[in-house]
Amino acid sequence: MPEQSDAPPTGSPGTEGVRERHYRETHRRIHLAALALAERDGLHRMTTAQIAADAGISRRTFFRYFSCKEQAVLPGHRRYLDALAEIPLPQPGSADPADPADIVAIIDAVGDQVLSFEGDPELTVHRRVSALLHSEPELRAYGAAQDAEIAERMAERLTGVFPEVSLAELTLLTEVGITAWRHGWIRWSAQAEAPGAETPTESHRATRAALRRAFCGGTA
C-alpha cells in the first residue's frame, strides 16, 4: 500500500518558510512532470515511477505528495479537501436551518476561503489540465469521484452546524455547490485573457449568483 500524501506544511498567514517553499516547489515540479507525461503518453500508459524520475525525486517521495498518478495530474481536489478540513465553520444555531440560503452561504464562504488559500492559478497550466480532462475519460471519472468526496465531506462537516437538517439534504446542497465551483473555473478560463478579466474569485461569485438567479430567483 503506497504511503499516503502528507498534508502541506503551514506557516503564518502571509509568510512562507523554507519548509513551506520546498513543499510547494516540489509539489509543483511533480504536478508539471505528471501533466507533461499524461500529455505525451496518455494517463493509462504513464506510471508513478516515470513521474518521479522526470520530477527528479524517488518514488517514495512521490507518495509523500500524491496518492496516485491521477491526483498528481489533477491536484486541486486534494487541496480543496485539505483546506476544507482546516476551515472553521459557524457554531450551531448561528444560521437558520430552515433557510437553504443560509446553508448555501456557508458553502460559498468555504469556496472563497479555499480560493484565498490557493491564490490565482497559472492560466496555461489550468488550460492544459482542462484539455486532459476533455480527452482522458479516466481522469474525468477520477475528477467526478473527487467532486463527490468533497461534497460528502462538506456535508458531514455541515451536520455539526445544522444538526436539524438531514445529511441527504446537506449533500444535495453541497453537490450543487461543487458543480458551481467547477463551472466557476470554466468561466474564469474562458475570459482570463480578455481586457478587464475577472479574477478566479470574481468568476466563482458570478457563477454562484447566476445559479441562484436560475433556481431561486435570487440576486447576487
User: Other C-beta atoms within 10 Å of 176: how many?
Assistant: 17
Residue ranges in the chain modelled with pLDDT below 50: 1-5, 11-13, 219-220
Q: Give the contacts of 24 (CB within 8 A, at least 6 positions apart).
A: 8, 16
Integer Cα distance of 56 and 146 in angstroms: 27
> pLDDT at position 118, please?
65
Give pTM, 2 decimals: 0.79
> pLDDT at position 103, please?
82
* Grid cell for residue 154: 462538506
DSSP string, 65-124: H-SSHHHHHSTHHHHHHHHHHHS--PPTTSS-TT-HHHHHHHHHHHHHHHHHHH-PPPHH
Q: What are the pLDDT digits (tens) for 72-102? A: 999 988 888 888 888 888 888 777 666 777 7
Count of CA atoms in the C-beta half-sphere (13 A) of 53:
6
